[in-house]
Structure 1
Amino acid sequence: MRDARRAFFLAACLAATPAGAETLNGALLRAYDNSPVINSGRAGVRALDEKVPQALSGMRPRASAGAFLGAQDNRAVTRQIDEDIADPAATRALTKSIQTGGSMPRSAQFSIEQPIFDGFKTKNATRAAETNVFGGRERLRLTEQRVLFNAVAAYMNVLRDTAALKLQENNVAVLTEQLRQTRERYNYGQITLTDIAQAEARLAAGQSLVGQARAALEASIGAYRQTIGVDPKKLAPGAAVDALLPGTREEVERIAQAEHPVILAALHDADAADLDIKVIESDFMPKFSIVGNVFTQTDMSGIYNRNIGASIGGRLNVPLYEGGFTSSQVREAKEVAGQRKFDVDVARADVIALVRGNWGALQAAKTQIAAAQTQIAAAERALYGVREEAKAGQRTTLDILNAQAELLNARIGLIYAQRERVVASYAVLAAMGRLTTRTLHLGDARYDPSIHYDQIRGLWGGTDTPDAGR
């Protein structure tokens, strides 16, 4: 059992990984490539990329065309009075004429407008959109870190619960043998029925613990499949990533303050909020654009007439008073910008607390491993001594059962401590902001969000989404 535990947990001492076994790095890469959570985050960043060309469109030309076609019925009535010029007093003659006819009035127009000055609204809106894209990338990095950490936890939970189940099953086997020996001793008259009842009770309790351990393993397998995408089969031992961690907590905190995605995303949000103020303030400034029109009109104001023309001119719009709406928007944007700056302070405090908590958990796990190993060695010696003393009649069956339970608990404690040791090291790496495929050397197949951004930033049209970078 001692050799099996060491082979299970102390990966650094192994000469080779079992053939065909899934490694922790392999599971992490599988989770990174196939996680729907990460894929959803990537799609969100790609959607955020589109805000940049949308902002750039503010200074691009706008063209439109229109047409009109209809039917018209015309009826013209003309009345005329004829009079004798030689004798104006003579009776006048009234002449009436009626003209009827139909026509199809129609027109077509093409207009184009090129903005020249918009109060720097497009410039600042583009900068704000770009800043939001950078913030979105940091949030995607945070999502990737969470998925990778959850994959580490799921992997180590399966290893832990598999080992715990084996220990519980071995304990049942030991208790079964203990019950057999107890009954033999009873048959020789060395002990009483009370000893048999105690052994039977411990065996029943052990069988119950086997059921609990098997249920815990099934739950861990379900979480493994949810996070990594496949069922676990043969898993290689997992090792801590101490080589990637600084030697002091202060250095971890320094790196986290500079690299953690929560802090960087909050900083980008604060910058974008400042730019949003400038975007709204541009509504106070005049706007100027060049407008050109080409048109044709036929039968629009009568039968058999046609008008063709073109025009070009400048359009100036100077806002004077908008009812206080824009002013209120500026005040609101300033308050939001102040809030975003406070969010940066909150993010920094949260990261510091996270670093110290994870660093403390890592140090505690190291201490627990050393203590558990000492406890196991002592419990093994105690169990051996109790059994020998029981042969001489100096110990009871209950003493043996208690010694066995202490040894079992110590071994399970070591399993849990070693799981915490590995997971806590990854937690510290995540708190630094460095739980990434690049840091873990998981291969070259990394998602690069800048590829999609570069593809769509300069597009002037088209509705097809690029495939590269997915």
Structure 2
Amino acid sequence: MQRILKTKRIRAFAAIGVLATAVVSAPQARADNVTDAMIGAYTSSGLLEQNRALLRVADEGVAATVAKLRPVVTATLGIARDYNRTGLGALGASSNHNTGATLRVGMEWLLFDNGATQLDRAAAQETVLATRQTLLDVEQQVLFAAVQSYVNVLTQQDIVALRQNNLRLLQEELRAANDRFEVGEVTRTDVALAESQVAEARANLTDARGALLTARATYEEVVGRAPGAVASYPPLPRRAASLSDAQARALRSHPSLRAQQHSVKAAQLTADSSLRDMGPNVKFTASASHGEVRGTDGTSDNFDLGLSLNQTLYAGGGLAAARRADLARVDAERGSLLSVQRSISSNAASAYTAFDTAAASLVSSNERVRAAQVAFDGIREEATLGSRTTLDVLQAEQELLDAQTARLSARANQALAAYQLLQAQGLLTAENLNLAVERYDPEIYHNQVRSAPAFVTKRGQDLDRVLKALRKN
């Protein structure tokens, strides 16, 4: 009987050794990669579509200022019926009914406004450039969210595998403890301890599966589809050579900083325009009208041409208030620019340091797993010889499990830190990553609308077709 029990113990401990390394040695299925996740997020993101539409709104602002320099033509058609009654009584009264129609065509053309509208146009153009950079920053956020969701699915998936193996190990140990209890080698307390650890392992596995379901749901929300077989960590992009290089690159190319620089220019141009608005403007007007009265030969035709010089002499202080407000907005934008510069430099430094920290943590985690594996293998062999208890084996196995879990977290943190450093430098874009997607080109729409085409022109009709295609997509 003792020989049989010893054989069972050897088999149980052998199973523990095999299962403890199953996560490392198990073959991996064909997996989605992080590039696929970023492509899916780029092509299906509602946030990107929203900000692309906002960019088109800014493009139309340029067209609106261009239209102010063109003549405005209006047409008015009026129809009136006159009813006249003269005299008193039934015999001496008379009435007259006339219906007349008048058509009037007028034109007003701003010839001179001291350059205010040209400045407004330049300000609108700077707003467009700022909005483009904001769109790039949103693109970075979308792509990083894709990387984050991909890594989270992979990490939770591996944690589930670890928890499953841990449960199998503890179930084997529980069976071995029951066998030893039957022959009196251990007490009921040892069996109860094994049962408690099995129950805890089941609870941990349930939690891990729930976290995996949550991670997959987040992936589907970000990427636009459910994840496939995710089983490989993303390759780490090359980082900057030094902290100063990372900060310098961020200050040169980060879209948030560029957007704020354009916002400062737009505010300054708007302030200059408000000063020009205080000066005179010259308008040319022309009108032609034709009127007829039904049932009579009465017609009338009028033609008017004119130039008007307009100068506001006093507006109750409203123009001066608008000017001061515009100057204050310039100061506010400059203050925001300083804050953005400091924030970008700080974020780049934090991301660079986080990457180094994550790399060092992964090295330590690998060493911990190696040491825990050696300890587990040694205690397992000692247990087969009777010099170690079941509790010793369980504790060694738990330490190995904790070390493997910590390594998964360290590996995930390193991957995220690498891509976060790209984002901090303004490099996490579809163009810089060379993603295989049809990239959104803001110049196409801007070039179509910057000349302010009307609906009746060929360009205006082409633009309508472009908008219909965008709405369908």
- Normalised to the residue count of structure 1, the TM-score between the two structures is 0.88
The equivalent position to 2:249 in structure 1, one of 255, 268, 272, is: 255
The equivalent position to 2:269 in structure 1, one of 264, 275, 283, is: 275
Judged with a 3 Å threshold, the aligned counterparts in structure 2 of structure 1 residues 102 and 183 are, in CA distance, closer, same or farther, namely: closer
C-alpha distance after superposition, 1:54-77 (max 9, x if no partner): 111111100111122222244678
Give the Cα–Cα distance (whole angstroms) in 1 for the partners of residues 52 and 131 of structure 2: 9
C-alpha distance after superposition, 1:419-457 (max 9, x if no partner): 111111000001000101122121252111111111111
Tell me how far 1:240 sits from its aligned partner: 3.5
The equivalent position to 2:65 in structure 1, one of 55, 64, 69, is: 55
Judged with a 3 Å threshold, the aligned counterparts in structure 2 of structure 1 residues 166 and 236 are, in CA distance, closer, same or farther, namely: closer
CA RMSD of aligned residues (A): 2.3
SS of 1:425 mapped into structure 2: helix
Q: Which letter maps to 1:266?
A: Q
Pairing of 1:49-198 with structure 2 (within 5 A): 49-74=59-84, 101-198=96-193
Structure 1 gaps of 5+ residues are 9-16, 78-96
* 1:417 matched residue in structure 2: 410
The equivalent position to 2:341 in structure 1, one of 343, 348, 368, is: 348
Tell me how far 1:466 sits from its aligned partner: 2.4
Give the Cα–Cα distance (whole angstroms) in 2 for the partners of residues 112 and 443 of structure 1: 52
The number of residue pairs the alignment matches comes to 440
Q: Does 2:62 match 1:31?
A: no
Give the Cα–Cα distance (whole angstroms) in 1 for the partners of residues 93 and 37 of structure 2: 93
Give the Cα–Cα distance (whole angstroms) in 1 for the partners of residues 202 and 307 of structure 2: 89
Q: Does 2:443 match 1:443?
A: no
C-alpha distance after superposition, 1:13-37 (max 9, x if no partner): xxxx965x32211121111011111
Tell me how far 1:189 sits from its aligned partner: 2.4
Tell me how far 1:4 sits from its aligned partner: 4.5
The equivalent position to 1:226 in structure 2, one of 200, 221, 228, is: 221
Give the Cα–Cα distance (whole angstroms) in 1 for the partners of residues 120 and 407 of structure 2: 57
Structure 2 gaps of 5+ residues are 1-19
The equivalent position to 1:22 in structure 2, one of 32, 44, 50, is: 32
Pairing of 1:320-335 with structure 2 (within 5 A): 320-335=313-328
Tell me how far 1:296 sits from its aligned partner: 2.0
SS of 2:466 mapped into structure 1: coil
Pairing of 1:249-398 with structure 2 (within 5 A): 249-298=243-292, 305-398=298-391
**Whose helix fraction is larger, Structure 1's or Structure 2's?**
2
SS of 1:296 mapped into structure 2: strand
* 2:5 matched residue in structure 1: none
Q: Which letter maps to 1:53?
A: A
* 1:433 matched residue in structure 2: 426
Give the Cα–Cα distance (whole angstroms) in 1 for the partners of residues 256 and 235 of structure 2: 24
Give the Cα–Cα distance (whole angstroms) in 2 for the partners of residues 40 and 53 of structure 1: 20
* 2:13 matched residue in structure 1: none
Q: In terms of mean alpha carbon deviation, does 394-403 or 408-417 score higher?
A: 394-403
SS of 2:315 mapped into structure 1: coil
Query: Is the contact between residue 24 and residue 236 of structure 1 (CA under 8 Å) also seen in structure 2?
Result: no
SS of 2:159 mapped into structure 1: helix
Judged with a 3 Å threshold, the aligned counterparts in structure 2 of structure 1 residues 208 and 25 are, in CA distance, closer, same or farther, namely: same
* 2:53 matched residue in structure 1: 43
Give the Cα–Cα distance (whole angstroms) in 2 for the partners of residues 2 and 395 of structure 1: 21
Query: Is the contact between residue 23 and residue 161 of structure 2 (CA under 8 Å) also seen in structure 1?
Result: no
C-alpha distance after superposition, 1:212-261 (max 9, x if no partner): 10011001001000000111121251324332x21211101100001111
Give the Cα–Cα distance (whole angstroms) in 1 for the partners of residues 170 and 197 of structure 2: 7
Give the Cα–Cα distance (whole angstroms) in 2 for the partners of residues 100 and 197 of structure 1: 115
Instruction: Quote the sequence identity (%).
Output: 27
Tell me how far 1:3 sits from its aligned partner: 7.5
- Normalised to the residue count of structure 2, the TM-score between the two structures is 0.88
SS of 2:452 mapped into structure 1: coil
Give the Cα–Cα distance (whole angstroms) in 1 for the partners of residues 26 and 117 of structure 2: 63
Tell me how far 1:109 sits from its aligned partner: 1.3
